[in-house]
Structure 1
Amino acid sequence: MSNGLSEVPSAIAAYAAGVGAAVGRGGFYTLVFLLVLLVVGLAPVGLGVVLLVLAVVLPAIGVAVALELPRVVRERFGGD
């Protein structure tokens, strides 16, 4: 009888692959976004704008990763 611990390394690898795929798809756009944030952040009133944008964008990135990972795990382990 297996306790499932042998699946942990492959589950962690699948999780990391999902995060990598989600981040990799928008690598260029992430770079552009960070450059714009840097430029706006250096403006006299830019820090408030940067904080406002981050308050909207960071949760959206979290949701995108959370929505992407279950699909990757299902494909990897053949779930429904």
Structure 2
Amino acid sequence: MSLFELFVRRPVLSTVLSLLVVLIGFVSYTRLTVREYPNIDEPIVSVQTTYRGASAEIIETQVTQILENSIAGIEGIEIIN
């Protein structure tokens, strides 16, 4: 008697075994863990401005504020410190 004949002659057995396979698959799926989550750091860009011989106020008004305004116009920029 082949496996096919057994399941045809005993439909309850085939249904129970099918449900058992589905149940084992579901339990296995719920217990499945993902071990390899990638470490994704948010992209950060650091811009430093220097102007030798200039005071802090001149650097702030003539360099830093102009750069901040230009960078703020770029799409996707969320925070400027």
TM-score by length of 2: 0.34
* Larger relative helix fraction: 1
Q: Which has the larger radius of gyration?
A: 2
Bigger relative CO (Cα 8 Å, ≥ 6 apart): 1
Query: Could you state the TM-score of these two structures normalised by the residue count of structure 1?
Result: 0.35
